[in-house]
Chains A and B, each alone.
Chain A
Amino acid sequence: MATDSKSFLRAAPAEPLPPPVARSGIIGWLRENLFSSPFNIALTLICAAFLAWIVPPLLRFFVFDAIWSADSREACLASPDNPDPGACWAFIRVWFSYFVYGFYPQAQRWRVDIFFAALAFGIVWLAWLHAPRRDTGAVYFFIVLPILSYVLLSGVPMVGLASVPSTLWGGILVTIVVATVGIVVSLPLGILLALGRRSDIPVVKFFSTAFIEFVRGVPLITVLFMASVMLPLFVPERFAPEKLLRALIGVAMFASAYMAEVVRGGLASVPRGQYEAAQALGLPFWRMMALVILPQALRVTLPNIVNTFIALFKDTSLVFIVGIFDFLRTIEAARVDPHWATPNTSVTGYAFAAAFYFICCYGMSRYARNVEARLARAHRR
């Protein structure tokens, strides 16, 4: 035995054995994570009690006792044979096309559907890491798609597409348009602002810093108001941008300022040696940034970037303040419909809104986690 002699020589290799049953698999996981210490056991029991208290009533309200289809409010009201009705999903079903399209003319809604499909196609093309020809995908997403979207949604009479003013757009259409434009514009613009802030040229540095600090120091609502009111003053009457465009510009500026600081944090985390190695190889400034520094900086701050995107997606609901009917505003408008007035209508409406935002934001979050995990595998020692 090794413990009671001064020298030791192993005669045969120690074969690997399977781990003991009680410490591996599901039982092992439970023991380690839920029941490992008295404190842990107490927490597990408290959480279980809390879930038992919360989940059944929620399920009852939103699923089992909910009214899934009806013609009018009577079905959703309390009555002798339905004393405690749940969520009024019938209300959502009836109003659904308003929530998605707003007041977009019925006959032209196929154009919005094509827009949604084209956008989804572009997102999948860029997001799917093994997709073929992703550089073409980038051209499609950043150049072809904006033009196509404008033609489809606004309409160009010459091509046979009737003009639909943006005041008629509403609901999910508006939320998606504002969020997508904000996200797509804020990343490149944010990168430029971050580089400008780190620049050695005093003028560039001053204007970048001033822009970032001013826009960040002011609430988004104020930025939207200013864009809405002030932009027409700077531009001759004929070119005055319409309401939605002004809101888009405001949101894009706001998001870019935040993104600039996120990117700046990432840039600061790239070691000086990387800059020096790239310079020593003879790479000029922009090539060094694009090929060596930014890939590393963006990788490091990816969680922060996605965080900013998710916050932006939800911030789009503030455009109601300049009179634009985004998704949340349409819910607000619909829930006061006297035709569907019941005690549960508002709750149902807000629950539906929450579900929509959650699905979109969680989707972004999960995708980002996948990308992070894939990138981390390359770096792991």
Chain B
Amino acid sequence: MDNRPDQAAPELAVQVIGLHKWYGEFHALRDINVTVTRGERIVICGPSGGGKSTLLRCINRLEDWQQGRIIVDGIELTDDPKQITAVRRDVGMVFQQFNLFPHLTVLENCTLAPIRVRHMPKKDAEELAMRFLTRVKIPEQAQKYPSRLSGGQQQRVAIARALCMNPKIMLFDEPTSALDPEMVKEVLDTMVGLASDGITMLVVSHEMGFARQVADRIIFMDDGQIVEIDEPKSFFENPQHERAKLFLQQVLR
């Protein structure tokens, strides 16, 4: 942990201060300021290309930025690889395309990081992995290769894999967007179960039903800016900003 004078209080999971990001000439993120307290569930929504995924990926430094600061769990994200790796160990991420390792079985996918990063003994790691695979309701798939599983099952493995590192914060980047409709529910149910455990969650998603059910706050982004932050009730019933109103009209047909 670093000892900077403005070190975040332990209750703040994520602090984003004055963040700007450019892709060449294109201004992808404009003056983002957000704080997330521990245990909070945030859903980020908005039209495509609005910068939602980009912001999420900045939080575990999969994207870098040109201006501004991000502090995750008290550690400031800079160019220092040690800081970055330390943050990534405590932040789990679930991707739209699952990104499971195809050359490893489901169980090996889940135990890879605990064994190789946390240096857990193999037996303990496998017990841990089986516990989480049971949690996401697919313990019987442990010895299969990811290509044998359906999309919904693969995404649940991805969630279990991220959970095996005991992260303090979970990031979800459009987790159900690549799934067939009949599998969306099983993944969302898993995420609802996680939410009730008290883990800090940041979810980029178009699933408004999930947002209404689970979110503490909804962040609406468009054109690289945060346009509105609201509690779900007031966001859905009475959106303030014009663009938020337009978006909800299109999404909630």
Contacts and interface: CB of A to CB of B under 8 A. Distances in A.
A290 to B, nearest CB: 9
Contacts of B117: 281-283, 287
A299 B101 CA distance: 13
Contacts, number: 70
B112 A276 contact: no
Contacts of B234: none
Given A280-B88, A281-B161, A274 B99 contact: yes
A295 B102 CA distance: 10
Interface residues of A, number: 23
B112 to A, nearest CB: 6
A381 interface: yes
Interface string A170-183: 00000000000000
Nearest to A273: B99
A282 B85 contact: yes
Nearest to A378: B145
A283 B81 contact: no
Contacts of A281: 88, 92, 112-113, 117, 161-162, 165
A10 interface: no
A61 to B, nearest CB: 49
A271 B103 CA distance: 13
A31 B113 CA distance: 54
A279 B161 CA distance: 13
Contacts of A284: 81, 85
B137 interface: no
Given A273-B95, A296-B102, A379-B102, A279 B62 contact: yes
Interface in A37-58: none
A276 B99 contact: yes
Nearest to B148: A381
A381 B112 CA distance: 23
A133 interface: no
B92 A280 contact: yes
B99 A279 contact: no
A291 interface: yes
Nearest to B84: A279
A298 to B, nearest CB: 10
Residue of A274, A280, A287 with most partner-chain B CB within 10 A: A280
B34 to A, nearest CB: 20
Given A271-B99, A277-B93, A281-B88, 19 more contacts: A276-B99, A277-B95, A279-B60, A279-B62, A280-B60, A281-B92, A281-B112, A281-B165, A282-B117, A283-B112, A291-B112, A292-B112, A296-B101, A296-B103, A375-B103, A378-B103, A379-B103, A379-B145, A381-B147
Interface of A: 271, 273-274, 276-284, 287, 291-292, 295-296, 299, 375, 378-381
